[in-house]
Chains A and B, each alone.
Chain A
Amino acid sequence: MSAMPFLSQHETRTVAQKIRRRVLDSVIRNNGGYLSQACSSAEILATLYTRVMNLGPSLAPMIPLPFPGVPSAQNQNFFNGSLYNGAHEPHLDRFFFSPAHYALVLYATLIEVGRMDAQGLEQFNQDGSTVEMIGAEHSPGMETTTGSLAQCLSQAGGVALARKLKKETGRVWVFMSDGELQEGQTWEAFAALAFYKLDNVGVYMDVNAHQCDGLMSDVMSVEPIRARLESFGASVLEVDGHDINALTYPSTLEHPNKPLVVIARTDPARGIEILRTRAPKYHYVRFQDEQEREQYREWFEEMK
């Protein structure tokens, strides 16, 4: 396939809605999953893949290959999930996916933008598959192993530094979650990105204000995020994380000598209103009973 041309706002919004719907379908069929993450991040990932990132055509099979074994000196069969994001070429962008538990949303995105076959999702969370529940670097769309949160930004920073040294023009995009701001490593990374003037880095942050235990403001507040990031030397824009044009705009701006951070304020139940009854425990949905599952089925049918 060829790289997808940049889509219109309307088309990207449709992609986002399809991502949400596909994730809901998977969660219903698997009797649970990370559903809220699709609600909050569908527009961000749809915008990244259809309007922001300059990626080459996928180099990976449309149906993901089985797990090739862990990387080691002996294992020559290992492959990287970034093949789904196209070739590593000096002029092309790279994508780093930090909150690995959002993997289902990423797989759904790859399907909706034509980089993976819908059949591939049949392997989700199946034994021996690379389409893992919490993805790693062999999983479709993922280049690094980031399930231990807040390790991605540093790794992407190293790639960005290397690309500067090699005088490559492609950018390094990072998708991360707001909960990762609680980890010290994130702030170490932002300090280093600014210190080395890595303006080839752009971070899209899904700020849905929730984490595993509930509201971030109850667990450990990280606000004011914008002021904190600006004081760490980033060029920061704060946008409505469900507004396609607002999400696209920051990527068109120059931010010389500074990394770009897009704070995407999002709604953890956007588009699936019945999820709100679970607030503030949005992190992982496991249906209480068949009746609740049926309610979500009905919602799914209405999303058509």
Chain B
Amino acid sequence: MDSRFGRFWLAMGYAFLYIPILTLVVLSFNESKLVSVWGGFSLKWYGVLAKDEAVIDALFLTLRIAFFSATAAVILGTLAAFAMVRYPRFFGRTTFSAHLNAPLVVPEVITGLSLLLFFVMIQNLLGPVEEWGPFLTLFKNTFGFPEERGAFTIWAGHASIGMAFAAVVIQSRLIEMDKSLEEAAMDLGCKPFQVFYLVTFPQIVPALLSAWLLTFTISMDDVVTTAFLSGPASTTLPVLIMGKARLGLDPTINAIATITVAIVACAVFAGSLYMFRQEKKLAAEAAAAYRDAD
């Protein structure tokens, strides 16, 4: 096929993917509230945003939930990935794998609904927590659940969705990993935990990091599951934005979008710079190793 046509198709595709994001960025600096009128450059909407306490509160809640759910998701996802890759046979493996992949395809409305009903059932079963002794009371005082739904239930939901995504990322790294290094360590007398800590772990760190970032983003971004699981005092940023967006165009959303884009752009830039340096370092080390061997 004609390469000019190919370049045209690629250009159109990228334009389609990026123009909406760019319009948000440009519009966030628009003095006018109207989208089609350029009222001059202004930082007005950022000022409005900075004074909006609901937005600030929601942002910090979202960040907190995303941090903890991504961490839990990566830990559980690592275990699940190891179970899938390293144990070709165990009881219920097919069910396990189906369960693990389910959150990737089940629509969010269903995940949200089922988790909410589950938490409501637990709340109903437990009743007043004080009767169940000091442990559950402590739990309630720390996490707010089962007294009311909120940060804890959202965290649990995000962790279970994120676990599936983390497992996919880590699994693919484990599959392509060279097992002979672990076997060598084993032969040289390493205990299983030492093998993991000294040999396996350093090799999967990049996968763990990207899984963490991915699940963090998923949690930061989630509207539907969160809306089901949140309580009266726990509005996350996406739920807040969804509420505003349903009412129509709102310039403060553009400002939020621009800040997000800026953060993502910085992170991607830093990430690629790091990867680039790392690759250079590895190449230099390999070259040095070959030199020594000669």
A is bound by B: no
